[in-house]
């Protein structure tokens, strides 16, 4: 294979990464705003059930990703990588924009959650076709001995997409009052995505097709039936299953634990104030993102398997101590209240119907610098700067695990499958591992906590999956670092 020049590979990476980042941004706004979405689109009679229903709707977008992987993977192997991920970009962007336009449950009733569910399904299908196309496209432009390094830039886009979504939400939240943000401001991040999508579409439109695919098509070697070749062939199906249960499954739960479950734990279990909890996650993500490049490059030298399996094992051993330490910071029973600083605050705001509503807030101050605000049945804890730094560190450690398992996996999956069916074959295990095993994590963990009453019971699921994947990967996964595609 004749490799593209350095200038060309960076153009490919920038264009592919920009589009993928925007798709992740679109996908993760929903998760980042899940607490507010549960209030807006679901019946208000049972807030806890509404939140679980929101997480389930969030998870649906992940569950359908494997179907998107099959549909768009087949299209990518038949028509080409470039045009397939242009299509997925438009579907994702249109769905995200439309979510921002849906009236609330108060206005249109049960139709609201139904429309959200439909659009979430479209998002999941689009993302199922996006990642495999971008990873394959970059890998097929990369030199054999630097494939892990170059594809690791694609791996940063999921975390950066979450970071950008948090950033846009925080900026929107800080330029308006809490009441205005809860009433209509939360829609702005959804609506802004249309401008990002247009920009990304323009950038991607100028790309050329993958040289490997062009050569294969010219020689008439493209697959007539990528799905049959990928999953009907016994040997290839075996590779798909090894990729899923020996790598992608564990990678998926570690990824979501270190980012989404961490955010959910801060907001719903510890009741950390909305802006502060998002800042904690955003700082940890920003500090950890360069490690994607480091571990991707390291995988070119020592292999993909060692790094991924080490990340899974260390994460499984460390989760309980990390989350126990986080839980302690939010435990009011271990804090001493300064009763002399207790006060009542009263504010007034307009409701969606235009009426003025009085809000009364009880404010408690503690000797460690924490402040608890209680209003209308809700509690929000603002922790001290010292405790905030500790939380950033504890989540940063989890992001390190994320970078270990996620950075090498694009190159790992690409190298497992032949060019003619690569898009289809690698997309399915990746999206089952991330979409099903990873995407169901917030919902399953929340149900475990609710049923047991134990704050830490939700960790049982990711730890069990990571350990099982580690064992299977140790036995069956083979490294193929730097092999010719």
**Residue 397 within any structural domain of the chain:** yes
**Residue 246 within any structural domain of the chain:** yes
Q: How many domains does the chain have?
A: 3
Same domain, 276 and 375: no
Q: Which residue, 222, 244, 279, sits at the end of a domain? A: 222
**Residue 321 within any structural domain of the chain:** yes
CB 103, CB 473: distance < 8 Å: no
pLDDT reported for residue 363: 84
Residue for token pair 């020996």: 246
- Percentages of the chain per state (helix, strand, coil), in multiples of 5: 75, 5, 20
Give the contacts of 6 (CB within 8 A, at least 6 positions apart): none
- Coil/strand/helix, residue 2: coil
Q: Which residue, 185, 205, 222, sits at the end of a domain? A: 222
pLDDT reported for residue 349: 60
Residue 361 phi/psi, 5-degree rounding, is: -125, 130
Q: What is the pLDDT of residues 277-328, one digit of tens each?
A: 989 998 999 999 999 999 999 999 999 999 999 999 999 999 999 999 999 9
pLDDT reported for residue 386: 93
Task: Inform me whether the pLDDT recorded for 428 exceeds 90.
Answer: no
Residue 366 phi/psi, 5-degree rounding, is: -120, 160
Q: Which residue has the higher pLDDT, 159 or 321?
A: 321
DSSP state of 104: P
Same domain, 81 and 160: yes
The CATH number of the domain holding residue 245 is 1.20.1250.20
Stretch 103-115: mean pLDDT, rounded?
A: 88
Same domain, 95 and 238: no
Same domain, 57 and 116: yes
Say how many Å lie between the first and final Cα of the chain, rounded: 8
**Residue 483 within any structural domain of the chain:** no
Same domain, 295 and 358: no
User: Which stretches does DSSP call E strand in 321-403?
Assistant: 343-350, 356-365, 371-375, 378-382
Same domain, 364 and 411: no
How many C-beta atoms lie closer than 10 Å to residue 14's C-beta? 12
Same domain, 131 and 246: no
Same domain, 94 and 165: yes
From 193, 153, 251, 183, select the one nearest 27 (Cα to Cα): 193
pLDDT reported for residue 389: 96
Stretch 330-335: mean pLDDT, rounded?
A: 79
Same domain, 258 and 139: no
Q: Which residue, 180, 205, 222, sits at the end of a domain? A: 222
Same domain, 55 and 106: yes
259: its two tokens: 């980012």
Q: Which residue has the higher pLDDT, 228 or 262?
A: 262
Residue span of the structural domain in which 455 resides: 230-334+384-478
pLDDT reported for residue 6: 55
CB 141, CB 4: distance < 8 Å: yes
CA 350/CA 344 separation, integer angstroms: 20
**Residue 485 within any structural domain of the chain:** no
pTM over 0.85: no
């Amino acid at each position: 294979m004749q490799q593209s020049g350095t200038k060309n590979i960076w153009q490919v990476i920038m264009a592919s990464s920009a589009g993928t980042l925007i798709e992740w941004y679109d996908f993760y706004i929903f998760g980042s705003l899940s607490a507010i979405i549960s209030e807006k689109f679901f019946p208000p009679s049972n807030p806890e059930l509404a939140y679980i229903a929101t997480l389930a709707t969030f998870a649906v977008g992940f569950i359908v990703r494997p179907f998107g992987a099959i549909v768009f993977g087949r299209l990518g192997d038949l028509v080409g990588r470039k045009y397939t991920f242009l299509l997925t970009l438009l579907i994702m962007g249109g769905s995200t924009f439309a979510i921002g336009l849906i009236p609330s449950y108060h206005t249109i009733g049960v139709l609201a959650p139904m429309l959200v569910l439909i659009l979430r399904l479209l998002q999941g299908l689009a993302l199922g076709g996006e990642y495999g196309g971008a990873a394959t496209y970059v890998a097929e432009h990369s030199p054999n001995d630097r494939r892990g390094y170059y594809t690791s830039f694609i791996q940063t886009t999921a975390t950066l997409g979450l970071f950008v979504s948090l950033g846009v939400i925080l900026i929107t939240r800080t330029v308006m009052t809490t009441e205005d943000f809860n009433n209509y401001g939360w829609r702005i991040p959804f609506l802004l995505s249309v401008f990002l999508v247009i920009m990304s579409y323009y950038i991607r439109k100028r790309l050329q097709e993958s040289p490997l695919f062009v050569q294969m098509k010219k020689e008439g070697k493209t697959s007539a039936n990528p799905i049959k070749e990928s999953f009907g062939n016994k040997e290839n199906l075996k590779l798909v299953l090894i990729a899923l249960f020996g790598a992608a499954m564990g990678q998926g739960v570690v990824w979501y634990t270190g980012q989404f479950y961490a955010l959910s734990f801060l907001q719903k279990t510890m009741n950390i104030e909305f802006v502060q909890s998002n800042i904690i996650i955003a700082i940890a993500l920003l500090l950890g993102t360069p490690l994607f490049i480091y571990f991707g490059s390291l995988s070119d030298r020592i292999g993909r398997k060692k790094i991924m399996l080490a990340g899974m094992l260390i994460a499984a051993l460390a989760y309980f101590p990390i989350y126990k330490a986080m839980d302690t910071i939010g435990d009011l029973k271990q804090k001493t209240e300064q009763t002399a600083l207790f006060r009542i605050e009263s504010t007034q705001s307009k409701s969606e119907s235009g009426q003025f509503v009085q809000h009364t807030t009880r404010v408690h101050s503690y000797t460690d610098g924490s402040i608890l605000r209680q209003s209308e049945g809700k509690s929000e804890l603002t922790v001290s700067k010292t405790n905030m730094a500790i939380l950033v560190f504890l989540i940063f450690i989890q992001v390190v695990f994320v970078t270990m398992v996620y950075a090498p996996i694009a190159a790992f999956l690409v190298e497992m499958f032949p060019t003619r069916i690569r898009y289809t074959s690698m997309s399915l295990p990746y999206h089952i591992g991330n979409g099903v095993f990873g995407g169901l994590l917030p919902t399953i963990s929340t149900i475990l906590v609710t049923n047991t009453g134990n704050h830490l019971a939700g960790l049982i699921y990711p730890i069990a999956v990571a350990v099982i994947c580690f064992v299977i990967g140790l036995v069956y996964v083979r490294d193929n670092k730097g092999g010719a595609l």
